[in-house]
Amino acid sequence: MKKIFTLLLILMLGVLAACGGDDTSNDDTGGSDSDNGTDSGETSDGVQSVTAWAWDPNFNIRALELANQAYDGDSEMYVEIIENAQDDIIQRLNAGLSSGTTQGMPNIVLIEDYRAQSFLQSYPDAFYPLTDYINPDDFAQYKVEATSFDGDIYGLPFDTGVSGLYVRTDYLEEAGYTVEDLSDITWKEYIEIGKEVKAATGKDMITLDPNDFGMVRMMLQSAGEWYFEEDGNTPALADNPALEEIFVLYKEMMDADIVKLNSDWSQFVSAFNSGDVATVPTGNWITPSVKAEASQSGNWAVLPLPRLEVDGAVNTSNLGGSSWYVLNQDGKELAAEFLANTFGSNEQFYTDLVTEIGALGTYIPGTQGEAFEQEDPFFGGQAIIQDFATWSEQIPPVNYGMHTYAVDDILKVEMQNYLNGADVGDVLDNAQSQAETQLR
């Protein structure tokens, strides 16, 4: 009897082991992207390939495709591009890196700057430093700050989130304003103009999603401040004059009844496509969405962002933006070489990025040339790319730190409390103590 039991047990273990073994070969059952699970590979004709994950087929994936064409380095290689939603990339990276396996991981991955420090510090040695491949001085300073950790630069800075104030010139005219009246103003003046615009045209000045703190982050960076001290870890929410001013301004906007609320991206886009709001302060990546409504051509202009009144605040900021990272596994040298050859040094490539997909990079030598002086009839002949490029040089660098999104969620709650009548100092003190207990 015992023998048979033993035999059965062994059989079962064998079956289980076989299942385990199958896992690896079945790894790439991801439909069309059959090379999902491979690291660097080599095809029969000796051309090497690395894999890359990105999320936007109209933007960063297109940029990778262009990079494939532009690559002219020594090794015969190309990048296999795999499209994943950004949330999926974050999940799969976290799952893969925390289990310590590189199986199924890409060689190159795009990570949002706000999350970069969190990945770099959570998974030490998982990423490959690019310090030897690129010259940090070639890139916008605030991007280098966001992609560096412990003296090394890990990310190759990609797109800029340089922000501006998109305005409807026809609505402003109706309310008796010119674009000059809104250039280089403070948020206080912005709200006053907003009230006039609402009175004259009935249109709201701005659209906001109470559950998306992008606006707050953008205003905060314009003052060279962030949720944390310089170290990126100590919360700086209480006694942060910039943050306090933002809270007060946010409430003033709400109280002035110049805000059209939205609750997700598509409602946000439809708010200005339908002509319901007069201005949109946000990152330059919104340009294609604004231009999507062709009937409004000629009625838009882009102005510098309004500024805060605290010391050091400027009329420019950043919202979003991401960078390329190389995972520390087989094929890393090849992947790094590819990035350095294209995104890291090729000026012509950056010109193509602008002309073909309107993507504004952060590689300084690549932000000049004819492509940038192009006048855009949609924006009344304004050379908006040139303007954005100029503003992006003045973006104050800040350390985004480890916990941007966690603090976002804490502040959202406190903002509701403040809007419901609590004292601004109290809610920020509250947020500070919550952040201190939670972020350890």
Nearest one of 123, 184, 182, 164 to 402, comparing CA atoms: 123
Binding to another protein by CB under 8 A, coded x per residue (else -) over 141-170, reads: ------------------------------
By CB under 8 A, is residue 378 in contact with another protein?
no
Identified binder of another protein from the candidate list 6, 43, 297, 438, rule CB under 8 A: 438
Of 65-73, 259-267, 303-311, 329-337, the segment contacting another protein by CB under 8 A is 259-267
Euclidean distance between CA atoms 121 and 113, whole angstroms = 13
Task: For the chain, give percent helix, strand, coil, nearest 5.
Answer: 50, 15, 35
Q: Give the residue with the Cβ less far from another protein, 237 or 360.
A: 237
Tokens read off for 275: 């002509």
Secondary structure letter of residue 202 according to DSSP: -
Which of 6, 34, 43, 98 binds another protein (CB under 8 A)? It is: 98
Closer residue to another protein, CB minimum distance, 90 or 310: 90
Q: Which of 43, 101, 211, 297 binds another protein (CB under 8 A)?
A: 211
Q: Is 94 in the site for another protein (CB under 8 A)?
A: yes
Q: Is 87 in the site for another protein (CB under 8 A)?
A: yes
Judged by CB under 8 A, does residue 91 bind another protein? yes
Element holding 119 (H helix, E strand): helix 113-122
Is 436 an interacting residue with respect to another protein (CB under 8 A)? no
Handedness of CA 50, 53, 59, 62 (dihedral sign): positive
Alpha-helical regions (H) of 274-380: 287-291, 332-341, 347-352, 370-373
Does 34 help bind another protein (rule: CB under 8 A)?
Answer: no
CA distance 386 to 81: 30
**Contacting residue, 264, 309, 375, 426, with another protein by CB under 8 A:** 264
Establish if 234 lies at the interface with another protein (CB under 8 A): no
Footprint on residues 406-425 left by another protein (CB under 8 A): 406, 409, 412-413, 415-416
On whether the CB atoms of residues 259 and 208 are closer than 8 A, the answer is yes
What residues from 105 to 134 belong to the interface with another protein (CB under 8 A)?
118-119, 121-124, 126
The reply on whether position 26 binds another protein by CB under 8 A is: no
Q: What are phi and psi of 238, to 5 degrees?
A: -75, 155
Integer CA distances (angstroms), 351 to 2, 231, 354, in order: 75, 36, 5
User: Crossing angle, helix 113-122 and helix 86-98, to 10 degrees?
Assistant: 10
**Residues interacting with another protein, by CB under 8 A?**
1, 4-5, 8, 12, 16, 87, 90-91, 94, 97-98, 100, 118-119, 121-124, 126, 210-211, 260-264, 267, 402-403, 405-406, 409, 412-413, 415-416, 434, 437-438, 440
